[in-house]
Amino acid sequence: MRFSKTNYLKLAVIGIAVFALAGFAWTGGRVGSPRVDNTLVGTLGDAEREAVSVAAFNEAAKVFFSARCANCHPAGDVPTQGDAMTPHSQGVTRGEDGMGVYGMRCTTCHQNENLPGEHMPPGTTIDWHMPPADQKMVFQGLTAGQLCRNFTDPNRNGGLEVKSLMDHIQKRDPLVTWAWEPGNGRSTPPMSFEQFAAKVEEWVANGAACPE
């Protein structure tokens, strides 16, 4: 299976794992469109905009590094699981297309919704998967600066422009939003989806600068 640029973009902002579910950050029963106040963008100097951008990415990185996202973005080929991010049981591995290997495909256990019960496989409305072998999109073991530079490097993000990241988040890809409704007592990221989306937008709007 070959991945399109759109698929690379999805892999860059998840995790979730990667990997895949349809959970949302709910406000009054539904998620609103993420917004940030960009009225000051044109009035800030370059150094100020860079500082704002870096600060915003550092906040967004807390979500990328959370277990719900990072479990499907390991440095090796074995996904991790649980809040402790321990190696996946059953000998699961990435596979060439990121969807596992013959006889142990991700979708064998991960269905189109979270299965009820303790320690049961989570699921989502699109196929559960990791990034493919030729575009691993590693989150685990990186600093915020390293992750940011991976996102902004065309050779590592599928050749996409950084501003496309915000477009992708606003479309609320199910594999991303699953993290906020993971089921089975799993923890959620340290901020709401709306807060996360706003930080990513603030990062991009002020130049997509990266921490050291």
Domain count, the chain: 1
- Is residue 101 included in any domain, yes or no? no
Residue 117 lies in a domain: no
Q: Range of 31's domain? A: 1-80+135-212
User: What global pTM score does this model have?
Assistant: 0.79
132-161 residue pLDDT tens: 999 899 999 999 999 999 999 988 887 878
pLDDT digits (tens, 9 = 90+) for 40-75: 556 778 999 999 999 999 999 999 999 999 999 999
In a domain, 92, yes or no: no
**Per the domain annotation, does 141 fall within a domain?**
yes
Range with the poorest average pLDDT among 14-18, 24-28, 200-204: 24-28
Judge whether 129 lies within some domain.
no
Q: State how far the alpha carbon of 60 is from the alpha carbons of 98, 112, 200, in Å.
A: 24, 27, 6
